[in-house]
Amino acid sequence: MYGVWQTPITITFVANLSGVSDPSSQKIAPNTSITMPTLTGSQYFMGWATSQGATTATYNAGQSVTTFASDTTLYGVWTTESGIMYSAGSVAGATDIPATQSGSGSMTISAQIPKYIPADASMTVATAASFNYWTKAGDSTKYYPGDTITVSGGIVTLTANWTTGCHAIRTVADFQTMGNTSVNSKKYVLAASLSLSGVTNNIGGPSTGGTGQIFEGVFNGNGYTLSNLNYSDSNNYVGLFGVTIAGVQIKYLNIDSFTIRNTGFYSTRWAGVLVGRANGGEFTHVVITNSTATGNYPQDDATTPIRIFTGQQESATYINCYANGTKVT
């Protein structure tokens, strides 16, 4: 047996601000963990970057980094300002990225929803992307629009997390095309607010076996509104989406003036404005207003926020969702 050796690499830290001492350099094996030092000085310390003139940090103080494969010099990044900066991250060309917010302490993250809907994105071309949440380097927390975050000094950069390979729904006809898919596992983003007055099918379309169609994919409303749907059906589960299962994501959608009715004559019929039956899924920032869900039996009428939202609740996660003014829990 012979020993296997690696040549160590050197990580050099340059404080990059007058009056602040450089941290000691460190020798490590390539691609092994090193913790970024913290500095204090006459300005706000943002973190570390490989360029001396960088204005945003690549690595946060306290972050554990394992990506250095060769000798590297890191420079401190400083600012006299304090607040939140937003980055589109991996999706170049994204729109509606919030402007930088100035401030400190407990700050509210912008409610604006980033979007990426290129001109060629359609029901047949899946080039759009769905915004999920914001991330902060060195922090595993998922930050959603409207959440609060503590800014203790300097600029906190929030980077958009995306799901790519999405189809774009631009018209009511597109919406109905999606609704006529039997078991739908595709990913969609809404490109505009739509009035669904006169639409006669839910997203699941005509049911097979009378149970309501299953949605298995992603639907991102992008902060737009679906309105004026008056829909009746005798399936077991009636809603904008018939049935959802684990892995489903429905997010950033506003629903207004929906009337959903289950016309079946059995006590096991369920109606919900968003979902007839939630057998799994994650619902994020879905807001329902001026809407009802009813059935032929008193127990079928949706009177609580969760029942207005979801006819039969098996298992699902609700993040900042509201039904007629009340938070869904």
> Two tokens at 276?
């007839």
Q: Give the Cα-Cα-Cα angle 146, 293, 241 (nearest 5 degrees).
A: 65
pTM of the model as a whole: 0.77
Beta bridge partners of 164: 129
Radius of gyration of the chain (CA): 25
Tell me the residue type at 308.
Answer: I
Query: DSSP secondary structure string, 310-326?
Result: EEEEEEEEEES-EETTE
Q: Which CATH class is domain 9-79?
A: mainly beta
Sequential pLDDT tens for the chain (329 residues): 787 788 999 999 999 999 999 999 999 999 999 999 989 888 888 889 999 999 888 888 888 888 999 999 999 999 888 899 898 889 988 999 988 898 889 999 999 999 999 999 999 999 999 999 999 988 889 999 999 999 987 788 899 999 999 999 999 989 888 877 666 889 999 999 999 998 876 554 433 334 457 888 999 999 999 999 998 887 778 888 888 899 999 999 999 999 988 887 665 678 889 988 888 999 999 999 999 888 755 555 556 667 788 888 888 999 999 988 888 87
What dihedral angle (degrees, nearest 10) is formed by the CA atoms of 65, 70, 73, 78?
Answer: -30
CB 231 within 8 A of CB 265: no
Tell me the residue type at 188.
Answer: Y
The Cα 183–Cα 214 span in angstroms is 5
